[in-house]
């Protein structure tokens, strides 16, 4: 698979499945990964470290691609990314730029609004806290006393 759009789609699918080894198989040795405005991770080893850390601390990832366009070796994605950790979830808009060379991703740069990410994280924490409280209440109250 060397067509740039298919490479990016396969890469995002591997990330959704938390298959880091397969995701890395789409990456070039000299890949650069950056969540703007954070500093970039340069090289396969640095990118692998970031991906494995995300997979270790998260329990799920989804990339809901709304639009994807390719112009030669450049692929642009407009998507909603969903991060999960247990009952916590954050959804936020992301625009991604990928550059593919010889069937491998050499650049992966994501742009998103940090305020939106923080708000989505807080919303996810609130929902997780409510779900946890409901579970806790359900454990200590007889079923006939629980009201929706």
- Residue 129 pLDDT exceeds 90: no
Confirm whether 113 is a catalytic residue. Answer: no
Q: Which of 21, 71, 81, 102 is catalytic?
A: 81
Instruction: Taking residues 13-41, report their average pLDDT.
Output: 95
The pLDDT of 51-67, averaged and rounded, is: 90
- In 11-122, DSSP assigns E strands to 27-36, 41-42, 60-71, 74-85, 88-101, 104-111
Given the residues 19, 71, 110, 113, select the one marked as catalytic. 110
Domain boundaries, the chain: 4-145
Active-site residue, 110 included: yes
Structure token digits, residue 4: 């740039």
Phi-psi region of 103 (alpha: psi -120 to 50; beta: other; left: phi over 0): left
Q: Looking at the domain 4-145, which fold is it?
A: Nuclear Transport Factor 2; Chain: A, (3.10.450)
pTM metric for this prediction: 0.80
Say what percent of the chain tops pLDDT 90: 61
């Amino acid at each position: 698979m060397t067509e740039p759009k298919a490479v990016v789609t396969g890469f995002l699918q591997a990330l959704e499945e938390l298959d880091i080894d397969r995701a890395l198989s789409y990456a070039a040795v000299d890949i650069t990964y950056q969540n703007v405005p954070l500093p970039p991770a340069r090289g396969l080893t640095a990118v692998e470290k970031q991906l494995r850390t995300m997979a270790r601390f998260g329990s799920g990832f989804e990339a809901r691609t709304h639009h994807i366009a390719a112009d030669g070796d450049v692929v642009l994605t407009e998507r909603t990314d969903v991060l999960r950790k247990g009952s916590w979830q954050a959804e936020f808009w992301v625009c991604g730029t990928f550059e593919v060379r010889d069937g491998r991703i050499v650049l992966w740069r994501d742009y998103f609004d940090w305020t939106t990410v923080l708000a989505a994280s807080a919303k996810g924490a609130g929902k997780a806290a409510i779900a946890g409280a409901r579970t806790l209440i359900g454990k200590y109250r007889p079923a006939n006393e629980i009201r929706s």
